[in-house]
Amino acid sequence: MTPSLRPQPTLDLAGYYHPQPNYFHTKQRLKYLAESYLAPQVLTQRLQDLPQQFEQPHQRPWERFDWQAISPEQIVGVDRELFASLIAASAEVEAPIRDYAQISRDYLQQVHPEMSRFISGSYDAEGKLIEVGVWEKEERQHAPTFCKLYQQLVGEPFTPHSNTITTLEPEIDLGEDLYRHAIRRITTEWSAVSLYLWLMAHSTGALQQAIAQPMQDEVNHLAKFWGMTRWGFADQTFNRLVGMTAQFVQMFDHHQGDRTTSSEILQIGNLRYGAELAYIFTRVLRQICDWNKHLQPEILEGLFGLRPRLRMA
């Protein structure tokens, strides 16, 4: 008598796929994603690419995926309406990229022209944009991608309401202003990486592959901004984490008024998903902090040269 064969476990970008995952299944998928996409060697490669971007700007190529294969059935272990609402929120967060780039240029142009060009592009003597920056080119793909994903999942088009842009109150010291702006930029990248990893943990197939493209852009930018700021300021990790947490709370509170979708993730019935998000936010930080231990001054100076006089008091 031939023994019955057990079905083989299915693998996707988040590891083992469970059709009806519990909290621990999803937590394992989140851990797998964080360790894969934020591995020290991956982050180091992304940072080492930055000096090359100063010399020869180039976009990170996206992997191919099948738009027509995306369907609501590829949402895993979460209510489809909740998942779609977070896709819509992602489109809205990503929408005002030109404004973000211009603000960064205002901070960076006189202090680090190469980084300013990477983020916001090149301008002529009259301040007219000549060439869009690599960061902006990569980021401007994200909002249309999430809008198209929303339409594939819901069957209706989605027009995002852009975030309103908040600016930091200027301080007396230029270094302090630039540092706070850098921490805000890192905070937005950390938030995007964490949310997109959560979306990947709750998806599979072409839907998961599509979300992986903007997610990898955000990891790329997070590594570059973290390493560049570490080189420029040599700040303590604890102080950086405190600043990021404060920025995150302020940004979250402010952008609640921008959302066209409801804050369902905060409702009592969805506390499990809130716990999952809390886990991945802290897991991403853990990956970054573990990598940060390897960013010794001599390594950073080998990439970017002697550190400028911007050290925080």
Nearest CA-CA partner of 74 in 196, 195, 210, 192: 210
Nearest CA-CA partner of 244 in 201, 292, 197, 299: 292
pLDDT of residue 111: 83
pLDDT of residue 159: 87
Intervals of the chain under pLDDT 70: 1-8, 162-172, 252-269, 308-313
pLDDT of residue 245: 86
Fold of 20-304: Ribonucleotide Reductase, subunit A (1.10.620)
Instruction: List, in order, residues 6 or more apart from 285 with CB less than 8 Å away.
Output: 190, 241, 244
Three-class SS of residue 15? strand
What would the pLDDT profile of 252-282 be if each residue is shown by its tens digit? 665 555 555 545 555 655 789 999 999 999 9
DSSP 83-146: HHHHHHHHHHHHTTHHHHHHHHHHHHTTT-HHHHHHHH-EE-TTS-EEE--HHHHHHTTHHHHH
Q: Is the pTM of this model over 0.75?
A: yes
List phi, psi (to 5°) of 156: -130, 145
Helix (H) or strand (E) holding 12: strand 10-12
Structural domain boundaries of the chain? 20-304
What would the pLDDT profile of 79-115 be if each residue is shown by its tens digit? 999 999 999 999 988 877 888 888 888 888 888 889 9
